[in-house]
Amino acid sequence: MHIDLTGEVAVVTGVLGRLGPVWARALLDAGARVVGLDLAETASRRLEEALAGGDRERFTLVGADITDRGALDGALRRCVSVAGAPTILVNNAGIDQPPSADGQSRLFGDLPDAPSAEVLEVNALGTLRVCQVFGSHMASRGRGSIVNIGSLYGGLAPDPRLYAHLPMDPPFLKPPAYGMSKAGVAALSRYLAALWGPHGVRVNTLSPGGVLGEQDEIFRERFSARTPLGRMALRGDLTGPLLFLASGMSAYVTGTELLVDGGYGCW
């Protein structure tokens, strides 16, 4: 079924990462104008890559750090002037950095604070700030759909058996702050769904499972074996769920979390 988003203005944060271009491409293909946000330094360097496939007319890249309220206010002004008032927001920017690259310490009690604080700052508070700026604008105009990108790990702990062959244990390889931040994103979606439902803005969470990428072969095999559908997600598996949540196809859906995880959480 074709979803037509002609006339919509979609904002995608973290547009230059692995999944950002997937969301942007799907929205462009459905006819929307897309304003992509990413860190200023990566924005200029990877501009051409982001635009690969054409659509220079309907795609605009804006450099903005989602932890910087002033930069987001400027990005909203730019969005309105070049593309129009935002009607779709995909909060995709996020980080998942191991707090220690040396792999020396293996104890949960040794996790340093700073990397956890950074993950929470970007993933949870950054998403909150983008909603404050772009979502408030949508609510003031009485229309919009916000899709916050969560994660399987917002609801489930990383299975240590999947990481047992790697040099670091899960507390360092998959720090708890990541799951904490993504659980927070889902909570934020519910909060804003309640706040903005009467103002015509729907807010949902799309939570991917493991997406096939640069993982090593052993991890891929273990992850696939643990997944009822028998494989990791392909990027194309994510576009239908995004377009469903972004469009009027989900007109009566708000405050929910759509897991796109091949059934990983079933057992």
Binding residues vs ligand NAD (CB under 6 A): 13-14, 16-20, 37-39, 42, 65-67, 92-96, 122, 126, 149, 151, 208, 210-211, 213
Number of other residues whose CB lies within 10 A of the CB of residue 234: 11
Nearer to ligand NAD, 31 or 155 (CB): 155
> What is the closest distance, in whole angstroms, from the C-beta atom of residue 164 to ligand NAD in the complex?
19
Minimum CB separation from ligand NAD for residue 203, in Å?
16
Of the candidates 153, 178, 191, 252, the residue annotated as catalytic is: 178
Q: Which of 258, 134, 154, 128 is nearest to 205 (CA)?
A: 258
Of the pair 199, 229, the CB lying nearest ligand NAD is at 229
Q: Which residue has the tokens 């931040």?
A: 181
**Residue whose Cβ sits closest to ligand NAD:** 17
Tell the smallest beta-carbon distance from residue 7 to ligand NAD (Å): 26
* Bridge-based pairing state of the strands 257-260 and 59-63: unpaired
Burial class, 245, CB count within 10 angstroms (exposed 0-12 / middle 13-18 / buried 19+)? buried
Query: Which residue bears the tokens 């051409």?
Result: 48
Judged by CB, which is closer to ligand NAD: 100, or 151?
151
Q: Which is nearer to ligand NAD, 106 or 117 (CB)?
A: 117
N-terminal to C-terminal alpha carbon distance within the chain: 31
Helices (H), 52-207: 69-82, 113-119, 127-130, 136-141, 170-173, 176-196
* 199 versus 212: smaller Cβ distance to ligand NAD: 212
User: φ, ψ for residue 135 (rounded to 5)?
Assistant: -65, -40
191 is catalytic: no
- State the nearest-atom distance from the C-beta of 152 to ligand NAD, in Å: 6
Report the candidate in 72, 161, 162, 175 with the shortest Cα–Cα distance to residue 115: 175
Give CA–CA dist 50/153, Å, rounded.
Answer: 28
What minimum distance in Å lies between the beta carbon of 110 and ligand NAD?
24
> What are the residue numbers of the active site?
178
